[in-house]
Amino acid sequence: MSASEVKYTEDHEYVRVEGDIATIGISVYAQEQLGDVVYVELPEVGKALAKGEEAAVVESVKAASEINAPVSGEVIEVNSELDGTPATVNEDALGKGWFIKARISDPSELDDLLSEDAYKSFIEGLD
């Protein structure tokens, strides 16, 4: 996997993997569907994430949505910048708007995620 490769879930979370560290957030499509993000609830550093279980909550003017962990692992960092500026998610979802960095406990779980091309095809089918 190249350093810049991003994988996606069908629930619109993304994972950018560097070594055994996963940076997790929501896709551009997801933030567009949510509208203006007003609050992000992040887990505690040290929390164990289980693939498919709630890892964070994002609230927008339209709705509150659970963000599920795309992979299992331990939270090693959260994006505390989102406390004061949750709109960063709307402005730069795949960059500064990340939510969680986690140490991956089972790299084989990445095989279940969608490539960028597969994700683009998936969201095209939603419209």
- Say whether pLDDT at 3 is over 50: no
Judge whether 63 lies within some domain: yes
Q: Is residue 66 part of a domain?
A: yes
Within a domain: 123: no
Answer yes or no: is 98 within a domain. Answer: yes
pLDDT at position 53, please?
A: 97
Determine the Cα–Cα distance for residues 70 and 10; give it in Å rounded to an integer.
10
Task: Give the domain extent around 56.
Answer: 6-104
55: pLDDT strictly greater than 80: yes
Q: Give the CATH number, domain containing residue 85.
A: 2.40.50.100
In a domain, 28, yes or no: yes
- The answer to whether residue 5 scores a pLDDT higher than 90 is no
pLDDT score, position 2: 46
Domain count of the fold of the chain: 1
Q: Answer whether residue 113 is part of any domain.
A: no
Task: Report whether 83 contacts 22 (CB < 8 A).
Answer: no
pLDDT above 50 for 35: yes
pLDDT at residue 42 tops 50: yes
